[in-house]
């Protein structure tokens, strides 16, 4: 029965791919009332060519999308495209700043509602290192700074949108064999050439991609038997002790499945980097110490997904609460916060999630002890919202419905922040340290 339930959740999730229903409002770009509008990506085909002789990499992208209103279609790419066409017409991609929130791009072509496509080419330089006949490259991401998801590397939509992605990778001009570690399904097309397909529920924060020369890392591969009967393939690679990572992985997966149900992804990929810590769908780049925290994120963050930056606090608070042995907290231990009170265009997680957020989860557990506590609710949340981007308001509503209890006062003061409140910053983020560009390059 458990296997049927687990497979039902996986199959159901593919029927609930998010589009525009949770997008922020359109943006006035100051042209006689003309707007830049958020769009719904349906498919993206990417190709990256690493040219050994030139010592450079370039990416070609084609994206199919739909807009519901007249406007300039919004997307994002940190690098400026070298060329861009929309429906076959050449155009540009201005960078637009939303004060106090973020930056993003839009195609400078006013479109009528309907289905469209855009193609672009750009240089890829972030976290790419050429050395002789070898190249190393990775999509390292972060949710603690603005514009540090997939948009660092490839054109993408925001977190509210899920869409089918494929990535062709070519290492040109090298006799050295390379390999790719990824949470997609990678097929070798030829020597140093791959095609990777990613699930339809992936979004801008989902992809794990690491290209390296073959044999650069030791690795271990095994199957983990899930409680729903699946044999889930696990790959762990590192220059450190593989046995320690393997043991911790097995024990943590067993713990999480016992608490929250069958592991939600089709594979597990772990890079034992010995530094940092970042979650992806069924994958992580992590130290051994932070491994359990990152695997928890495969349920909360890359399972139950934030639809925007103001919902990012939820998964960090849950994972931090788990790290604190699910301790309960009193109302008096809570501190005012604005974790979910930023601009609706915010695309990063508030650091308060690790401390104030963790205590807020502990408070909810204590408040609802007589009704089974918060962990029981969280298991239900995974079943209800697996692979469905969630807003902060939806999390609050789910809590209130489940426990039949209003949380207006608590969310207003401790999560949304009241106007005039003083917010004290607490430095408490040991699991996702902010690494410098040079530190990230060393992890390649």
Domain spanning 24-216: which superfamily? tricorn interacting facor f3 domain (2.60.40.1730)
pLDDT of residue 150: 98
Task: Tell me if 204 sits within 8 A of 228, measured CB to CB.
Answer: no
Say which residue the tokens 């339809």 belong to: 200
Whether the full predicted model's pTM is greater than 0.85, yes or no, is: yes
Q: What is the DSSP letter of 329?
A: -
Radius of gyration of the chain from Cα atoms?
A: 22
Q: Is the dihedral of CA 309, 313, 316, 319 positive or negative?
A: negative
d(CA 43, CA 261): 30
Predicted local confidence at residue 435, as pLDDT:
83
Q: What is the pLDDT of residue 422?
A: 64
DSSP secondary structure of 342-410:
S-TT--S--GGGGTHHHHHHHHHHHHTGGGTHHHHHHHHHHHHHTT--B-HHHHHHHHHHHHT---HHH
pLDDT of residue 6: 45
pLDDT at residue number 418: 67
Backbone angles phi, psi at 236, to 5 degrees: -120, 130
Paired strand residues for 181: 210
Per-residue confidence (pLDDT) for residue 243, from 0 to 100: 96
Task: Determine the pLDDT at residue 10.
Answer: 45
Residues with Cβ within 8 Å of 19's Cβ and at least 6 positions away in sequence, in order, are 40, 66, 161, 162
Domain boundaries, the chain: 24-216, 218-296, 311-416
- CA dihedral 428→429→435→439, nearest 10 degrees, is 100
Give the model's pLDDT for residue 425: 66
The CATH T-level fold of domain 218-296 is Zincin-like (3.30.2010)
Residue 13: predicted pLDDT: 42
Q: How many other CB atoms sit within 10 Å of the CB of residue 406?
A: 11
**Residue 421: per-residue pLDDT:** 66
- Residue 111 φ/ψ region, left for φ over 0, alpha for ψ in the -120 to 50 degree band, beta for the rest: beta
| Segment-wise mean pLDDT, segments of 10 residues, the chain, 444 residues | 41 56 92 91 98 97 96 97 98 96 96 98 97 97 95 98 98 96 97 97 98 96 98 97 96 98 98 89 96 97 97 97 97 94 95 95 98 97 97 98 97 84 66 83 92
Q: Are the beta carbons of 350 and 145 closer than 8 angstroms?
A: no
Of 286, 294, 314, which Cα lies nearest the Cα of 382? 314
Indicate the SS3 state at residue 54. coil
Judged on CB neighbours under 10 Å (0-12, 13-18, 19+), 240 is middle
Give the Cβ contact number of residue 387 at 10 Å. Answer: 27
Q: What's residue 420's pLDDT?
A: 58
């Amino acid at each position: 029965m458990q296997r049927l339930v687990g497979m039902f959740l996986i199959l159901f999730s593919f029927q609930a791919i998010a589009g525009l229903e949770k997008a922020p409002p359109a943006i006035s770009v100051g042209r006689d009332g003309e707007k830049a509008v958020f769009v719904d990506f349906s498919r993206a085909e990417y190709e990256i060519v690493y040219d050994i002789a030139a010592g450079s990499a370039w990416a070609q992208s084609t994206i199919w999308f739909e807009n519901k209103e007249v406007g300039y279609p919004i997307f994002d790419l940190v690098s400026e495209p070298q060329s861009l066409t929309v429906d076959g017409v050449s155009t540009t991609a201005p960078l637009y700043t939303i004060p106090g929130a973020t930056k993003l791009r839009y195609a400078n072509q006013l479109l009528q509602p309907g289905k469209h496509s855009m193609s672009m080419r750009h240089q890829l330089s972030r976290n790419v290192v050429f050395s002789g006949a070898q190249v190393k490259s990775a999509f390292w991401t972060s949710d603690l700074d603005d514009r540090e998801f997939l948009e660092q590397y490839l054109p993408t939509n925001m977190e509210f949108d899920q869409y089918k992605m494929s990535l062709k990778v070519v290492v040109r001009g090298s006799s050295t064999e390379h390999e790719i570690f990824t949470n997609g399904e990678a097929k070798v097309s030829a020597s140093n050439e791959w095609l990777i397909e990613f699930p339809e529920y992936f979004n801008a924060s989902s992809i794990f991609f690491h290209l390296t020369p073959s044999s650069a890392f030791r690795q271990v591969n095994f199957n983990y038997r899930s409680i729903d009967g699946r044999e889930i393939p696990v790959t762990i690679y590192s220059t450190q002790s593989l046995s320690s990572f393997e043991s911790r992985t097995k024990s943590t997966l067993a713990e999480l499945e016992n608490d929250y149900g069958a592991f939600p992804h089709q594979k597990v990929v772990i890079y034992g980097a010995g530094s940092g810590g970042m979650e992806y769908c069924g994958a992580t780049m992590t130290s051994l110490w932070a491994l359990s925290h990152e695997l928890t994120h495969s349920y909360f963050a890359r399972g139950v997904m934030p639809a925007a930056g103001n919902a990012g606090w939820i998964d960090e608070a849950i994972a931090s609460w788990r790290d604190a042995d699910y301790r309960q907290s009193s109302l008096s231990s809570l501190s005012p916060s604005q974790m979910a009170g930023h601009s609706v265009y915010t695309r990063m997680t508030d650091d308060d999630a690790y401390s104030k957020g963790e205590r807020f989860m502990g408070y909810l557990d204590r408040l609802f002890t007589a009704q089974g506590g918060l962990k029981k609710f969280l298991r239900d949340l995974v079943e209800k919202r697996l692979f469905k981007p969630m807003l902060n308001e939806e999390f609050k509503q789910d809590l209130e419905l489940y426990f039949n209890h209003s949380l207006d006062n608590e969310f207003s003061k401790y999560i949304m922040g009241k106007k005039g409140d003083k917010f004290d910053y607490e430095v408490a983020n040991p699991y996702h340290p902010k690494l410098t560009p040079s530190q990230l390059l060393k992890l390649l």
